[in-house]
Structure 1
Amino acid sequence: MTAIAPPAPRFPQGWPRFGMGTASLGNIFATYSETVAAETFAAAWQAGVRYFDTAPWYGHGLAEHRLGSAMRDWPRDQTFISTKVGRVYEPAPRGQDARVQWQNGLNFAVRYDYSAEGFAASVAQSRLRLGQPVVDTLVIHDLDKDYHGTAFDGHMQALTASGLAYLHRLKAEGEISAVGMGMNTLSDFAAIAPWIDVDFFLVAMPYTLVDQAALHGPMADCLRRGIKVVIGAPFASGLLADPSASGVMYAYAPASAEMIAKALAIEAVCARHDVPLAAAALQFPLLHPAVVSVIPGAVSAAQVRQNASNVARQIPADLWADLKIQGLIDPLAPTG
């Protein structure tokens, strides 16, 4: 029998400026129904979103299943899908709950593996959950020193010994179109950006409207080396969406009084220019020449429509100038 080659993925010569992350629909902070997830994905497609980022980690497979269900109604050649590698799943032992932080996620146990063998297993599982023979890009997920502790050196050795070469082999063979790496902290981003061989970084926290600490280090390294940057958490876990909200989060934890005060000060400047804080938060990272896309999450049709509206909103240059004058953003931050 002759093998049928999968459709070749497409590397976006002009990356979609705006996409959607799916961690929230893996129930990271709250539980969302299948109906809500389906309505959110449908609204994203109707709003013109074609770039969707997911990961096995999100709900221990739940987000990939939900995205895969939505994708069955979309033309595959118009959809750009990114998922992640570094975690492999197996059924949790009978009677045990392995869902960790994911509320009503899937009860599968995670094993970390950054080797070629681990990445191959992760990709195979993701393809099945998504119901797709190929994905467009793969992102090395959560290889953070603080996160892994004493296991970090072993995971990094596995990556450099075989895992990274495996991803580049998939790219050379046309199975994927780009190799990425996720970055959650400034320290990891600064340590890795100068040397690792990837096409793009998916940056979750170190470069947002409320924090530009990465500007003169790893973001500069990306520019120098021609590495693209996708901003994965432009609202910084919710703080830049609504800093007045009860229990507002920042960097995946309850926001401190200091960070809430800074976000409120930025919001006040935005209000003087008749610009929603969320619009400024979405568009600010895109002004950096290394940044090609922002991919905020959404947990309702209304949220995704609002995000699409805010990313398209006209923002006066005076807003950025005023934020610099007030010392609320780095005076050297690119602002067009």
Structure 2
Amino acid sequence: MSLKELLPGKLGFGTAPLGNMYRAIPDDEAAATIEAAWQHGIRSFDTAPSYGAGLAEERLGRALATRPRDSYVVSTKVGRVILDETEDGERDLGEKSGLFRHGNPNRMLDSLTAEATERSIEDSLKRLGTDRLDIVWVHDIAQDIHGDQWLARFEEARTGAFRVLSRMRDEGVIKAWGLGVNRTEPIELTLALDEPQPDGFLLAGRYTLLDHEHALQRLLPMAREQNVDMVVGGPYSSGVLVGGTHFEYQPAPRHILDKVARIQALTARHGVSVKAAALQFSLAHPVSAAVIPGATKPSRIAEDTAALDETVPAAFWADLRAAGLVSPAAPLPDGA
């Protein structure tokens, strides 16, 4: 099943912040944010075991417990198994190390073998309090893309997670699977394999106003040719586009801040919100099925839904292109 057929709308909800990303979030605030997403019509929820060592999945499960299971779509990820024992200090999550220091203290096993994949899914079902998953993403294959370890991790995924998820899809246990990554290379490699193919992919932070050139070079043409859909994660580039200070999970460098300032100047000139520009840009590519910003406050959900419906004048997109702030190859809304 294609992601465009499976997903119930263009806007989903990413729960990474609810794993206590960057800060400790009270349970009632997390629950209120998920409730706000529901009240605004969002019916697609994305999570992962690594978001606070199971915390985001637990919170999402509690919040959705009273909702009819057929009324929403939930996706989670495999690649890290949450263990019962706890540990102190920073976890090694590559470039994401330190993000979830306020999450659960459980130790995590980093593995994409068949056995770990099956266990991860079983544990996620328990934390989410559900009897089934709709989409499963293979998480963070290529954290060290500039080294050579990611190829070994990819091979473990190819012979383990990929085959388990393909079988589960064929058996009807899950509806779809794909890769959930913030690098384009593992998706390109997967699409080139002569093996059971993923139904789509979740690309975080790599098809945004700030960073989209690389995805346009090879990945998105391949995906379009093979009718593979994309879910865009991190459309606000770790928050720096909308007033935050992080880019790619780290303090934003000066050249990124300068680019953000140029984009914000254009949005101000045209009376457009930055969120509207960011979300609508990410959705304009024909491969895009949905976009899933994260949030930790109910008010952010209202902003996201309003941004999706906001009218953005063609003149804004034309000026954005003329200023060299988007690639000439990037499709823009309404053919602008």
One fold, TM greater than 0.5? yes
The reply on whether 1:320 has 2:317 as its aligned counterpart is: yes
Question: Which moves more between the two structures, 296-305 or 196-205?
Answer: 196-205
Q: Between Structure 1 and Structure 2, how many residues are aligned?
A: 322
1: CA distance, partners of 2:35 / 2:2: 22
Aligned counterpart, 2:27? 34
Matches within 5 A, 1:283-322: 283-322=280-319
Matched, 1:228 2:229: yes
Cα RMSD after superposing both structures: 2.0
CA distance in 1, matches of 2:188, 2:45: 26
Distance 1:148 1:164, change over 3 A: farther
> What pairs up with 1:1-336 in 2 under 5 angstroms?
13=5, 15=7, 16-92=9-85, 96-97=87-88, 100=91, 101=98, 102-144=100-142, 146=144, 151-195=149-193, 197-213=197-213, 214-242=215-243, 245=244, 248-335=245-332, 336=334
Alpha-carbon distance in 2 for matches of 1:188, 1:241: 29
Q: Determine if contact 1:34/1:66 at 8 Å carries over to the other structure.
A: yes
Structure 2: any 5+ residue segments left out of the alignment?
92-97
| One-letter amino acid of the structure 2 residue matched with residue 206 of structure 1 | R
Contact 2:21 2:102 in 1 (8 A): no
Paired residues of 1:98 and 1:107 also in contact (CA < 8 A): no
Query: Greater helix percent: which structure?
Result: 2
Tell me the equivalent position of 2:95: none
Give me the TM-score of the superposition, normalised by structure 1.
0.90
Q: Deviations over 1:37-73 (max 9, x none)?
A: 0110110000001000000000000000000000112
Contact 2:138 2:161 (8 Å CA) reproduced: no
Q: 1:175 to 1:11 in 2, by over 3 A?
A: farther
User: Is the partner of 1:58 in helix, strand or coil?
Assistant: coil
Question: Which deviations, in whole Å up to 9, do the C-alpha atoms of 1:152-185 show, x marking residues without a partner?
Answer: 3433222222321110111111111111101212
**C-alpha distance in 2 between matches for 1:89 and 1:292:** 30
Pair 1:62–1:147, CA change in 2 (3 A): farther
> What is the SS of the residue equivalent to 2:127?
helix
Deviations 1:76-103 (A, max 9, x none): 111110000011121225xx32663223
Gaps of 5+ in 1: 1-8
Cα distance in 2 for residues equivalent to 1:43 and 1:147: 37
What SS does the corresponding residue of 2:49 show, helix, strand or coil?
A: coil
Describe the SS at the equivalent of 2:242.
coil
How far apart in 1 are the matches of 2:247 and 2:270? 25
TM-score by length of 2: 0.90
Q: Percent of pairs identical after alignment?
A: 36
- The answer to whether the 8 A contact 1:204-1:233 is kept is yes
CA 1:150–1:12: 2 relative to 1, 3 Å = closer
Distance in 1 between the 2:49 and 2:254 partners? 33
User: 2: distance between equivalents of 1:115 and 1:182?
Assistant: 16
